[in-house]
């Protein structure tokens, strides 16, 4: 596949922001900031907010080794979320997964990290 066609394989991205008991307040503040300000940016740039979904703080489930919250974004809004997390994640680890329909490949082969990578529980994908 060529570069121009590869992007069409990705429908959206998920950013998983990890925290522990000591950093839960940082994650909660970051999540609240997304709900408040980042949605305004998405609304301004795209005219609607269905390009982003921000999940609640949750415990470790599936392949995720720590508590986290998820930010799901359409491909066209990726840069807005990436830029915000690059500047304001306050040391939290973030897993970035493309969504291609092949969940195992998305997590194992195609994912990227911001901050310290964590060992995923691959057997739970």
Q: Does a structural domain hold residue 61?
A: yes
Number of domains, the chain: 1
Q: Can you give the residue range of the structural domain that contains 51?
A: 9-113
How far apart, in whole angstroms, are the C-alpha atoms of residue 71 and residue 51? Answer: 10
Residue 3 in this model has a pLDDT that exceeds 70 = no
pLDDT of residue 113: 98
Q: Give pTM, 2 decimals.
A: 0.90
pLDDT at residue number 76: 86
Mean pLDDT of the chain: 90
7 versus 55: the higher-pLDDT residue is 55
Contact 57, 77 (CB under 8 A): no
pLDDT tens for 20-62 read 999 999 999 999 988 887 777 777 777 766 777 889 999 999 9
**Domain presence at residue 121:** no
Note the pLDDT tens digit of each residue in 73-117: 999 889 989 999 999 999 999 999 999 999 999 999 999 999 999
Which CATH number do you get for residue 54?
3.30.70.1240
Residue 97 lies in a domain: yes
Q: State residue 112's pLDDT score.
A: 98
Separate counts of helices (H) and strands (E) for the chain: 5, 5
Instruction: Tell me what pLDDT residue 37 has.
Output: 79
Predicted confidence at residue 45, as pLDDT, reads: 77
| 100 domain-assigned | yes
Residue 53: predicted pLDDT: 86
The Cα–Cα gap between 43 and 125 comes to 33
């Amino acid at each position: 596949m060529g570069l121009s066609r590869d992007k069409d394989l990705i429908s959206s991205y998920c950013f998983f922001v990890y925290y522990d008991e000591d950093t839960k307040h940082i994650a909660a503040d970051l999540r609240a900031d997304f709900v408040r300000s980042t949605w305004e940016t998405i609304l301004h740039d795209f005219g609607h907010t269905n390009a982003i979904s921000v999940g609640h703080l949750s415990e470790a489930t599936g392949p995720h080794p720590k508590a986290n919250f998820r930010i799901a974004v359409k491909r066209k809004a990726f840069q807005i979320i990436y830029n915000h997390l690059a500047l304001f994640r306050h040391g939290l680890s973030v897993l970035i997964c493309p969504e291609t329909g092949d969940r195992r490949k998305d997590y194992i082969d195609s994912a990227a990290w911001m901050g310290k990578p964590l060992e995923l529980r691959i057997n739970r994908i």
